[in-house]
Every structure is written in structure tokens, then in C-alpha cells.
Amino acid sequence: MASHRRPKQPSRLRVTVLTATAAAAVVLSANGASAAPQPSKDEAKAKVDALYEEAEQATEKANGAKERQDKLEKEIGQIQDQVAKGQDELNTLRTALGSMASAQYRTGGIDNSLALFLSANPDDYLDKASTLEQLSGQQVEAVQKIQAKQRSLAQKRQEAAGKLADLDATRKELNQKKKDSQDKLAAAQAVLNSLSAEQRSQLGADEKKASGGAADKANAGGGAKGSGRAGAALEYAKQQLGDAYHMGDTGPDSWDCSGLTQWAYGQAGVDIPRVTYDQANAGRRLSLSELQPGDLILFYDDLHHVGLYAGNGMTLHASNPRGGVKYEAVANMPFQFGVRVSG
């Protein structure tokens, strides 16, 4: 016979002990899952530098998209002005043709073909040779002018529509690249925030020491002096040493890499493009041994970073958010080529 006795209930003490043990296990498990190993100072620096490079790649692409956006907006404005002017000219031509029709009517009636042309929907008749053949020579000339103007306006409107579509795509690209750059910078800051106060202080001291050593080397023997406008550009860039780095900025107190080089050359009276990829084609390309003070230097395979050659194996550049505008050894980055700017 089966037993119908109720199972023995655990004592209150046993329940309490089991509950406490389970809670402790949960806490230990949670702590084990969240306690990721803290990176060393050098590991954090390497990670942050990599994120800064990725952010700068996105920044230069954003700069390029901004350049295309500005150009498209200007072109669209010009086309819209041309369309408005063309529409006024078309209205004037139609008014003149209407005056011919009025005069014809007063002197004996208007031609049926001309009446059709001046109706609410005259475009249907513009390409019909039989209609034009029934008009006078003067009227034919007026109609042909209207035809040409209407076709021109249609082409301009189609061109504007295409550029508006390009503008929409460019704006979306610009916003995405800005977000990409901001996300990378935020990730870099998170890595820095994960360090102890002592590690962050040491990282800053290391950066300051490296920058000081680079400046001493660049200025050894009185510093390299460039000639011509390249030399002048270098001297203008030197005035910005210590300024902050900020994506998309072109001064006066913060810069990105290509913003600084464009401004420096602009101050020296030479107009160069805004983004690194275009600055790479702003003049004759040079090997490392050919560099002279003030020449542009392009770094990384995709050419997303640029600086000015400062002599003694050093570059002056807007480096990253941690370093700002500073001197640095050319050898610290993957050198691609120099550029001697035309002009």
C-alpha cells in the first residue's frame, strides 16, 4: 500500500542556510563575470591609439562627404537660379507669341494651329511639324524659341533632381561617418576611464615626455627652416603647437590633421584641398630622403593622416585627442610619401 504521509518539510534553519548559500553563489558568479582583467597602461595606450586611428579614418571620410555636400548645395542653387531665370524667359516668349496672336486676330482671325499652341496644354503640339508648317515665319521662329527653352528647362530640372538625390545620399553618409568617428572616440575614452588614476597620470607623463623629446629634436640646432611657401606654412603651423585635436575642426584653436595643413598653406598663400586623400595629389610626390621642411607627409595605407615635415626626421601634425598639435617622429607612423605642394 502506498504511503500517504506528507514529505518532511525542511527546517527554518536549513532554508536560511540554503538561501544564503545560493545568494552567495550568485554574487560570486556575478563578480566573476563582471570583473574583466584591467588592462595595463601600455595595453590601454595601444587600444586607444588604434581607436583614434579608426576615428580619424571616419573623420576624413566625413570631411570628404562634407566637401561634396557643400559643392552639391552650391550647384543645386545655381541650377535653381537658372531654372527660375529660364522660366521668366519662357513666360516672356509666350507673352510675345500671344501678342502676335492678338494682332492676327484683330486683322482677320487667328490661325487654328496658333490657337492650339496657345491653349491650356500647348506642349502637345510643340513637336508636330504639321502645326509649325501652318504658321507664319515670325510665328515659327517664336514657337521654336519656346521649344528650345522648354527643353532646356526640362534638362535643368532633371539635372537638379539628380543632384538632389546625390545630396540626400551624401548627407546620410556624412551623418554615418560622424557617428562612426564619435563612437570610436567614445570607446577610446571608455578604455582610458577603465584605468586607475595612477595609470592615467603615468600615461599623461609619458605623453608629455615623448612630446618634449620630439620638440627638442625638431628644434635641435635652431630648428629646420623651410624655404618659400612650404617653409612659411610650417612656421604658421608651429604657432598652433599645443592646440587641441577635434574631428572636423579647421581652427582657430582646435584642428584635425588635414584642417591644420590646409590652414597653414592657406596662410602662406597656397590653396590646397580639405581632405588628406586630395592633399595627397596637391603636388609632386617625394621619398623620405627628398623631404624638405614644410612638405606634406602622408601616413597609413589609406592616406587618412597628414602632417608637415619639420626637419630632423620629425613631423608637426594634429595628432589625436590625447596629443593635440605636436611634433612626432616620422618613424612612429607608417610613412607613405611626401608631397611638395605646387604653387
Is the per-residue pLDDT at 28 higher than 70?
A: no
Grid coordinates standing for 190? 571608455
Structure confidence by residue, pLDDT tens digits, 223-248: 777 789 999 999 999 999 999 999 99
DSSP string, 113-181: HHHHHTSS-GGGGTT-HHHHHTS-HHHHHHHHHHHHHHHHHHHHHHHHHHHHHHHHHHHHHHHHHHHHH
Structure confidence by residue, pLDDT tens digits, 275-321: 999 999 999 999 999 999 999 999 999 999 999 999 999 999 999 99
Tell me if residue 246 is catalytic.
no
Dist CA 55 CA 47 (whole Å) = 12
Looking at residue 105, its pLDDT comes to 53
Q: Which residue has the higher pLDDT, 115 or 193?
A: 193
Q: Which of 4, 246, 304, 305 is catalytic?
A: 305
Is the per-residue pLDDT at 269 higher than 90?
A: yes
Looking at residue 303, its pLDDT comes to 96
Chain centre to alpha carbon of residue 6? 75
Grid coordinates standing for 72? 552639391
State the alpha helices, DSSP H only, in the chain: 12-34, 41-106, 112-117, 129-133, 137-193, 197-218, 228-238, 257-267, 276-279
Dist CA 181 CA 197 (whole Å) = 26
Answer yes or no: pTM beyond 0.85. Answer: no
Tell me if residue 305 is catalytic.
yes
Of the pLDDT bands very low, low, confident and very high (cuts 50, 70, 90), residue 62 is: very high
Is the per-residue pLDDT at 25 higher than 90?
A: no
Dist CA 305 CA 276 (whole Å) = 6
Tell me if residue 304 is catalytic.
no
Is the per-residue pLDDT at 174 higher than 80?
A: yes
Side chain identity at 172, as an amino acid letter? K
